[in-house]
Structure 1
């Protein structure tokens, strides 16, 4: 007999995406996808041309969000991605940081 499914502990992923990710709607598409999945956090452009994002939620939805980032928005060309896992901070909602 299997154990009942327990709610998964929230995780936090801090992501940097490089390539053609600015000026192609990447942040707005990230926000739409995060809202669709119910992921909390934020996304912003970095002066060096990368996009930085933080995702908090269950392991399943955060991993799904990271997978989406590897492809990105239409028009984006993701060349490299760095992911670091951190202690969740209890973020609520998802926003584009300026």
Structure 2
């Protein structure tokens, strides 16, 4: 089990990116949250099985069809014990 802090940049707001993230996180059993940032980026905290997080990160690099992901920064963090997955 691991936890990561993820910062996604590009055309990732107003394109369904947070809903895409939540849907896939729930399907993969990942806990945490996703939120828009004032600078146009999307921030997420993901907690779960290493393999499942890696799979979600692959999906986040692609994003929903109308998004354009330019960069993803992933930092490993300590788990906080999130319950469920929320869009903030």
**TM-score by structure 2 length?**
0.97
Aligned match of 1:51: 42
Q: Shift in Å at residue 86 of structure 1?
A: 0.5
Find the aligned partners of 2:60 and 2:6 in 1 and give their Cα distance.
9
Match of 1:84 in 2: 75
Q: Does 1:28 align with 2:25?
A: no
Unpaired runs of at least 5, structure 1: 1-9
Q: Secondary structure at the match of 1:44?
A: strand
- Quick check: 1:13 aligned with 2:4? yes
Higher CA-based Rg: 1
* Residue correspondences, number: 88
Q: Which residue of 2 aligns with 1:3?
A: none
Q: Is 1:63 matched with 2:50?
A: no
Query: Segments of 4+ in structure 1 off by > 6 A?
Result: none
Distance 1:82 1:65 in 2: 14
SS at match of 2:65: coil
Cα RMSD between the aligned structures?
0.6
- For structure 2, the 5+ residue unaligned runs are none
